[in-house]
Amino acid sequence: MPEPLAAALSRLRPSLLDAERLVRAIGSGRRRGESPRWRRVEVRPVDLASGPHLQLTTYDATQAFTRNLAPGAAAEEAVAELLDEPFGNWHIETRDAVTQLRVTKRGQAQVHVEDRAGAPAPSRTHDRSKQRLLDVDDPYLRAVGIADAQGAIKPSRQAKYRQIDEFCRLLAGALDDAMESGRLRRPNPEDPLRVVDLGCGNAYLTFAAYRWLSAVRGLPVRFVGVDVKADAYRRNTELAAELDAAAGLRFVHGDIATAAVDGDPDVVLALHACDTATDDALARAVEWRAPLVLAAPCCHHDLQRRLRSAPTPSPYGLVTRHGILRERLADTLTDAMRAALLRTHGYRVEVVEFVASKHTPRNTMLRAVRTGSSGDPDVAAEYAGLTEQWGVRPRLAELLEGEA
């Protein structure tokens, strides 16, 4: 039953400060009409040379910031500040129980507690080396040509390996946030997580996501990769069989807009689908009402062409007269309009850095979680003003006509 939020948060505070029993605590999401300073926070106990501390890690759109606080007034003040942030969800694991707190639309707390007596003691190590989500000796990496026969990453494929790792981290964080907030269901063997990768191409990231979800994360998953190229379909299907993954991973030869998949997906991926193929993928995700969407756009030629044929509003002629600046402006406008359209169709959207630009110039990702809202009228008004000012109508808007 819902209860007053202040009282429920007050009950969480002792668990967050109990260095002996706490395993970890995560704050994520946001309350209706409010935004916390961070996308996500994590609290866990660590042992330093000077004794036990409380480690607080805060995440913005692209980075993580960590600080360690000794028990006492500073830790108590920091925890109080975290609980004051308008997070929509708290997930707290202790040696004794798992507590889930969700803030309802009315601003009350819905709390669920699951007993976990006898759980093993957590790791309290502070200086943990960064672990790749897929080990270098994973057979998948050898099969797709990223690692050599000895299990070492090829020098020419280091950037691709980094891209794979960063994508898996983004996927991990997005899944955790969506599940903890209740926006994405928790899968089970009878009803696996349904994932579709639209425009998968050679499927480096498709195979990586499937491998991480199934073998590393241990989730039951049914994964489909879609691409219009017949040679990519044949190659990917053969590789899935070679990796003994065909039971959970299959490929479909077809275009994004009409390809048949088994049931509406829980997660839709569109990773470097070229130009308006990204729009096709986003429109299909909206049609499916997909709870979670991750899209990393590739080129943006469509809006570049439209900008060239439309009059440039003052005073932006100084920008569009230079080809390279006009291209970059079109990139920014395209993704801003895509994000706005998704928001008007019931999604919460963040535009984040996919991977550092030194590894790939295609490093923007749209991360969208379906909230079920009717859309923000202020966003719709701003979007209308933007398209009117520039005299363009993006492809995604055309595809979404008729979608409620």
Q: Are residues 306 and 208 in the same domain?
A: yes
Q: Are residues 70 and 207 in the same domain?
A: no
Instruction: Check which CATH number belongs to the domain holding 206 and give it.
Output: 3.40.50.150
Mean pLDDT of the chain: 86
**In a domain? residue 130:** no
pLDDT at 358 > cutoff 60: no
* Cβ contact 163:365 at 8 Å: no
- pLDDT tens readout for residues 244-281: 998 899 999 999 999 989 889 999 999 887 878 899 99
pLDDT at 110 > cutoff 50: yes
pLDDT band at 198 (very low <50, low <70, confident <90, very high): very high
Asked which of 81, 115, 149 is the last residue of a domain, the reply is 115
- pLDDT tens readout for residues 283-302: 999 999 999 999 998 877 88
Asked which of 115, 148, 178 is the last residue of a domain, the reply is 115
Report pLDDT for 402. Answer: 63
How many domains would you assign to the chain? 2
Report pLDDT for 310. Answer: 83
Q: Are residues 241 and 360 in the same domain?
A: yes
pLDDT at 122 > cutoff 60: no
Q: Are residues 279 and 367 in the same domain?
A: yes
Q: Are residues 343 and 201 in the same domain?
A: yes
Q: Are residues 90 and 179 in the same domain?
A: no
**In a domain? residue 321:** yes
Q: Are residues 250 and 395 in the same domain?
A: yes
Domain that holds residue 84: 5-115
- pLDDT tens readout for residues 363-386: 788 999 999 887 788 899 999 999
Cα torsion angle, 349, 178, 103, 14, sign: negative
Q: Are residues 233 and 292 in the same domain?
A: yes
- How many CA within 13 A on the CB side of residue 37? 10
Asked which of 82, 115, 148 is the last residue of a domain, the reply is 115
How distant, in Å, are the alpha carbons of 22, 193, 251 from that of 239? 43, 22, 10
* pTM of structure: 0.70
Q: Are residues 241 and 373 in the same domain?
A: yes
**In a domain? residue 32:** yes
**In a domain? residue 224:** yes
